């Protein structure tokens, strides 16, 4: 692992690091904010999974997470959204290939050699973080935006006991019935739609739900609202009697202005669950 940069931030440290990923078979970069409490011992960890076209840098610089994480003594990790490098397959469209890993393990060519983002987020990066930083890996929460909200919800429901809580900003909530989902799941996983179900938050909610609280914020002026399908997830959560809050925020769109407005709420929400464990 190499340190790319480390900067003082809200009495803590905002770092950027790169390492060779076995899962993705390429170099991967991630950002990690450590509050000052990490100088004294392990602190809880919140994951923030970003959306389409993003790298580790977008949320690190635009979401405003550091101030609120510092207030609650919580670390925040910002992984990249896909493998990178000259030998990594890509597509001319913004919503497939680099920047669009969809947090799945690809089984189809040309994606399979590198696009193993599920294993990277679920297994490889957590192990690396636990070995190298003052983090309490028994206390983890997860959050995400758009494609990253999809990833946060599906990881949380597929890994029971891993995360105390899950939240999302404008998640892709029902990808198996959306153009933001069907295209990518078919490309990465093939035409057998039974393999897609574990990557659909609405289907997972109907099947198993989540063993903790959920918070979702969705802007009413989101330009991608028809692709996100929050109403499908809301119906599934109601039927499952899930401990969940879905807030439709009037006037907000899909941007980081929306995310930064409500980031304080999301980190406080996770802090309550993390410190209750």
Residue 214, classed as helix, strand or coil, is strand
d(Cα 56, Cα 23) in Å, to the nearest integer?
A: 17
Res. 45: pLDDT tops 90: yes
Q: What is the mean pLDDT of residues 97-124?
A: 98
For residue 146, indicate whether it is catalytic: yes
Q: pLDDT at residue 62 above 90?
A: yes
| SS3 at position 195 | helix
**266: part of which helix (H) or strand (E)?**
helix 256-276
Convert the pLDDT of each residue in 140-171 to its tens digit.
Answer: 999 999 999 999 999 999 999 999 999 999 99
Residue 277 confidence (pLDDT): 83
Which of 146, 165, 167, 178 does the annotation list as catalytic? 146
Q: Is 150 a catalytic residue?
A: no
Overall domain count for the chain: 1
Tell me the two tokens of residue 40: 């004294």
What is the domain-level CATH number for residue 235? 3.40.50.1820
pTM above 0.95, yes or no: yes
Percent of the chain with pLDDT over 70: 100
Kindly report, residue by residue over 69-89, the tens digit of the pLDDT: 999 999 999 999 999 999 999
Catalytic, out of 82, 199, 222, 270: 222
Cα gap 253→171, rounded to integer Å = 13
Find the catalytic residue in 56, 72, 199, 254: 254
Q: Region 122-127: what's the mean pLDDT?
A: 98
**Residue found by looking up tokens 């000052």 in the block:** 36
The boundaries of the domain holding residue 65 are 2-276
Block residue for tokens 């959920």: 214
pLDDT digits (tens, 9 = 90+) for 14-44: 999 999 999 999 999 999 999 999 999 999 9
Q: Which residue, 24, 189, 185, 49, is CA-closest to 117? A: 24
């Amino acid at each position: 692992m190499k340190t790319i940069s480390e900067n003082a931030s809200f009495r803590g440290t905002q770092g950027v690091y790169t390492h060779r990923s076995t899962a993705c078979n390429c170099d991967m970069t991630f950002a990690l904010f450590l509050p000052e409490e990490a100088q004294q011992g392990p602190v809880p960890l919140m994951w923030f999974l970003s959306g389409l076209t993003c790298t580790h840098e977008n949320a690190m610089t635009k979401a405003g997470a550091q101030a609120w994480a510092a207030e609650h003594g919580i670390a925040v990790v910002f992984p990249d959204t896909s493998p990178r490098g000259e030998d990594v397959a890509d597509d001319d469209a913004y919503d497939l290939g680099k920047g669009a890993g969809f947090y799945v393990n690809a089984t189809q060519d040309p994606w399979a050699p590198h696009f193993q983002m599920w294993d990277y987020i679920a297994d490889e990066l957590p192990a690396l973080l636990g070995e190298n930083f003052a983090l309490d890996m028994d206390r983890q929460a997860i959050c995400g935006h758009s494609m990253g909200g999809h990833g946060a919800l599906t990881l949380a429901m597929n890994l029971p006991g891993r995360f105390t809580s899950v939240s999302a900003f404008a998640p892709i909530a029902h990808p198996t019935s959306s153009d933001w989902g069907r295209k990518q799941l078919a490309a990465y996983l093939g035409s057998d739609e039974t393999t897609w179900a574990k990557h659909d938050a609405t289907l997972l909610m109907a099947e198993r739900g989540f063993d903790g609280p959920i918070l979702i914020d969705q802007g009413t002026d989101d330009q991608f609202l028809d692709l996100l399908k929050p109403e499908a997830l809301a119906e599934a959560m109601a039927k499952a009697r899930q401990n969940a809050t879905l807030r439709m925020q009037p006037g907000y769109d899909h941007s980081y202005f929306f995310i930064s407005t409500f980031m304080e709420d999301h980190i406080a929400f996770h802090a309550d669950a993390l410190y209750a464990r």
